[in-house]
Structure 1
Amino acid sequence: MREIRIGDFVTVSHAGAIATVTVDRGDGRNALSRQLILELTEAAKSFADDLTSHVVVLSAKGAFTAGADLKDPAMDRRRANGLLERRHMVRIGPDLCDAWERVEQVTICAIEKYCIGGGVALAGACDFRVMGVGATMRLPEIPLGMNMSWHSVPRLVSLMGPARAKRFIMFGEDLNAADALSAGLADLVAPDGAVLAAAQAWAEKVARLPPNAVRMTKQSVNAAANALHHATTYMDLDQYVAATAGEDYREAIKAFLEKREPKFTGR
């Protein structure tokens, strides 16, 4: 096995035709800091010229991710010097998901414990998702006064259908593994603690298939499924900037910190 470290938090391991990308911030939560987002983006791009790896498994030590790291000063949009810099700061999220969607190899996301916010967007950019039986997914963005961005909405609609996607995105409720499987967001449910092994077993099945045919099939399916994605996501970054500039966003964050129900006014 050959291992490559990408920064402080991401390791890429190569074993035959299977590559495993492992996230480990050392705390079991793996919140998406700016540094981690950039490292994961670099990891995805590293497969562009890799003709040996035919499957990529994306996993994490502990929980898959707690979502965006709100304690990371580099993620604080208030530090931006004007609108142009603010738009540039928030671009790293959609860039991350787009990079993973563009990986030519089959990508399998292994999800233990929980997958929140931007983690769901990242998982949705992969080809398949394996969840632990006790794992959950959640999108807290709308209740916190934000829109759902990172180019994730059309991907979720493609996977779940419009009504289920609206419910999942709007309400901010936990989605357990069984319901995720039924909705089409998960492809396989495995025992807790054995998700990576299940994902790698699936990867071995893919690795035995003819790689050219697999890559061309993925390309064709994505071209059909994603034909309108740009037309429906090109403004989600600016929607995010607009939503987080409003009073409702400030009220949502304040209410969250004060552990009370927010009072939204539409301002």
Structure 2
Amino acid sequence: MSDNLVNVEKRGDVAVVTFDRGGSLNAFNQALIIELTKVARRFHDDLETRAVVLTGRADAFSAGIDLKERSTRDDDASSDLELREVYYRGVKLCQAWEDMPQITVAAIEGMAVGAGVALPLALDWRVMSRDAFLYVPEVKIGINLQWGALPRLVSMVGPARAKRICILCERMSPEHALDWGLVDELADAGSAVEVATNLATQAASMPPVATRMVKEAVNAMSGALHKVSAYADADQSALSSASRDAKAASASFVKSGAS
């Protein structure tokens, strides 16, 4: 099955989903967000697929949100309600992937920045290439971390480390990410999909009903308050994006080469 920007390859009872914009360091634009959401929802009623690997380009999982498209959101929206819908598409994307009944594994090569970190946090496991890095620069741009990612991040690393990741905007090496529990396995450069697929295949070999029940129970317990704490994060992002601080910070971030 193939979409414009997203390809789904079935390998027995494991599916490998690859998203590739063909440029822009695989940054998320609205078309990509919508396609990835639709793909995730197709798996919700799929009783044959038992595990899903999600990966981006070989040189970059994703550079995050497309800042050029983001800068024109207010101009492109025909109403406030439509603009709010645009801001919440990322939230719905991550929720669609988190709600998939299959075991999900992210395979990260190159870079995972901002939204490129938020989406893997919604999956069950993450495999990271040894030459890749994670980077959450939202505060440097003057906005909050959204897409429902902040409570997921706190659950994984604790409050102090979540603050450091988000506020200091430090690039994280694979070893650092593994030590802090953000990723579950490391892979040699170019092998993240292979390692993730092996992990997914192991999960797919387990009794399917028990596997789904355990996944659902763990998610329900660990994420019981996630929606309460992040229900308005997209509204907060829209509000903070309009501030003079955010506009100046965003312009500086782009000018500096997103360093």
TM range (shorter): over 0.9
Match of 2:8 in 1: 12
Match of 1:96 in 2: 93
Structure 1 residues 9 and 123 mapped into 2: Cα distance closer, same or farther (>3 Å)?
Answer: same
Match of 1:237 in 2: 234
**Normalising by the residue count of structure 1, what TM-score does the alignment of the two structures yield?**
0.92
Alignment length (residue pairs):
256
Q: Distance in 2 between matches of 1:257 and 1:99?
A: 30
Q: State which of 245, 250, 254 in structure 1 corresponds to 2:251.
A: 254
Stretches of 4+ aligned residues off by more than 6 angstroms:
none
1:27 aligns with 2:23: yes
Report % sequence identity.
41
**Normalising by the residue count of structure 2, what TM-score does the alignment of the two structures yield?**
0.94
Q: Deviations over 1:147-180 (max 9, x none)?
A: 1111110000111111111110111110111000
1:111 aligns with 2:108: yes
Q: Deviations over 1:194-227 (max 9, x none)?
A: 1110011111111111011100000000000010
Query: How many angstroms does 1:83 deviate by?
Result: 3.2
1:124 aligns with 2:124: no
Match of 2:217 in 1: 220
Q: Unmatched 5+ residue regions in structure 1?
A: 261-267
The residue identity in structure 1 corresponding to 2:230 is: T
Q: Deviations over 1:84-115 (max 9, x none)?
A: 33212211110100100000000000000100
Q: CA RMSD in A?
A: 1.6
2:87·2:235 contact (CA, 8 Å) conserved in 1? no
Match of 1:66 in 2: 63
2:183 match: secondary structure: coil
1:34·1:75 contact (CA, 8 Å) conserved in 2? no
Q: State which of 32, 39, 47 in structure 2 corresponds to 1:36.
A: 32
Higher relative contact order (CA 8 A, sep 6+): 2
Q: Unmatched 5+ residue regions in structure 2?
A: none
More helix by share: 2
